[in-house]
Structure 1
């Protein structure tokens, strides 16, 4: 099986780190799993869109860097700051935020 085929079979965050031989904190990944995977997915889409002529090994190298970047993003910031998921971008209905209350 080719390495790109192996990559396409991965389903768990930890498997990605092991596939790319990247060090990771298992507890950190467990807490931030969905955010890391979503950011990684966004990076992969950008790589595939912006660099369609890469061969498989070049692509996997870019993917490896993307996974490391996705992991590093959440070491430096909180998931809510990244606003990757719809729930973080929607304004709650029937709620008035303190910042919306003016003073006279």
Structure 2
């Protein structure tokens, strides 16, 4: 199957990325970690685009494929909370006092 960068750029669903790159995946894992996988994948794609601006399209797609696999595998052993990819995981909740912040006299 010949892959085109233009076809890659039309993909919108996580499952479509796996199908495009012909990568096996567990639907349950993708369903639970969809946003995290896509966010990490997006970060890797940005790094690839920045670090390899002049590579051939097929080589770029190969790197994207590896990045998707790496993103997926990360969430086989980790969680979104552990990875802290989204702002919500990095903010301290307001109006909350942690037990570690309470001192006794």
Q: Normalized against structure 2, the TM-score is what?
A: 0.93
Unaligned runs of 5+ in 1: none
1:10 paired residue number:
11
2:27 paired residue number:
26
Per the alignment, in what secondary structure is the counterpart of residue 9 of structure 2? Answer: helix
The correspondence of residues 8-87 of structure 1 with structure 2, limited to 5 A, is 8-87=9-88
Q: CA deviation at 1:24?
A: 0.1
Distance in 2 of aligned mates of 1:90 and 1:14: 30
Q: CA deviation at 1:103?
A: 4.3
Q: CA deviation at 1:31?
A: 1.0
Unaligned runs of 5+ in 2: none
Q: Normalized against structure 1, the TM-score is what?
A: 0.94
Per the alignment, in what secondary structure is the counterpart of residue 59 of structure 1? Answer: helix
